[in-house]
């Protein structure tokens, strides 16, 4: 890695950490939320072999607009159009009802860019592993299983994006008895 890409990644991690500073995961330990975007970027780099820095940046930033006060204009000014476009592609419209948002993820997944599909895939892989690690506060076993089934429908639309990540995902679905 060149020293400039190191600096760019540190800048991006710092931006995401500041934006998510007051947010916690839903696990009983209330883990800092930033563990999730860092983990998603790490899956792409370490397990998916991804070196495209804009994909890694988008992974670090992928929940900033959906879950914090960050705007796309702000991302564009700091990180430029490509990173912003990838984040936009993986951002749910929070004004829509939850069922509609979930349905749209399944519908849109096959039409996303390759870069956005990579981020989506790693996001789902992280969240499924997190569900195996522990159940979010207030979630029943049925809700966990429903998340696996829904995630499998999204992942179907991401086929052919990254063999290593898809293989790991497939194993998790098999363990849950979910058909991909
Ligand atoms: N497994 C798990 N998920 C947690 C936890 N804490 C927060 N989350 C987040 O919750 C989301 C999944 O929960 P849902 O109830 O399905 O969705 P919602 O937050 O949009 O209402 C994921 O959002 P996302 O990353 O935007 O992905 P997506 O599921 O919306 O695609 C995930 O990152 C946790 O402790 N475990
Ligand atoms: Mn996420």
Domain parsing of the chain, residue ranges: 5-175
66 in active site: yes
ipTM greater than 0.95, yes or no?
Answer: yes
Q: What architecture (CATH level 2) is domain 5-175?
A: Orthogonal Bundle (1.10)
Cβ atoms of residues 57 and 8 within 8 Å:
yes
Distance of CA 35 to the CA centre of its chain: 12
63 CA closest ligand 1 atom index: 26
Cβ atoms of residues 50 and 56 within 8 Å:
yes
Instruction: Report the chain's terminal Cα–Cα distance, integer Å.
Output: 36
Of 27, 47, 52, 66, which residue is the catalytic one?
66
Give average pLDDT by consecutive 10-residue segment, the chain, 180 residues: 90 98 98 99 98 98 98 98 98 98 98 99 98 98 98 98 98 96
- d(C-alpha 93, C-alpha 179), whole Å: 28
């Amino acid at each position: 890695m060149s020293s400039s890409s190191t600096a760019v990644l540190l800048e991006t991690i710092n931006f995401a950490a500041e934006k998510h500073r007051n947010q916690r995961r839903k696990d009983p330990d209330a883990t800092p939320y930033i563990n999730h975007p860092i983990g998603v970027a790490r899956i792409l780099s370490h397990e998916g072999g991804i070196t495209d820095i804009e994909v890694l940046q988008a992974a670090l930033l992928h929940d900033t607009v959906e879950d914090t006060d960050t705007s796309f204009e702000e991302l564009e000014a700091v990180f430029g159009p490509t990173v912003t476009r990838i984040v936009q592609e993986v951002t749910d419209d929070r004004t829509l009802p939850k069922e509609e948002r979930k349905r749209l993820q399944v519908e849109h997944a096959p039409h996303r860019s390759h870069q956005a599909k990579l981020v989506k895939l790693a996001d789902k892989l992280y969240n499924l592993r997190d569900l195996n690690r522990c159940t979010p506060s207030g979630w029943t076993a049925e809700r966990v299983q429903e998340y696996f089934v829904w995630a499998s429908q999204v992942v179907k639309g991401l086929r052919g994006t990254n063999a290593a990540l898809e293989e790991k995902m497939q194993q998790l679905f098999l363990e849950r008895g979910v058909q991909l």
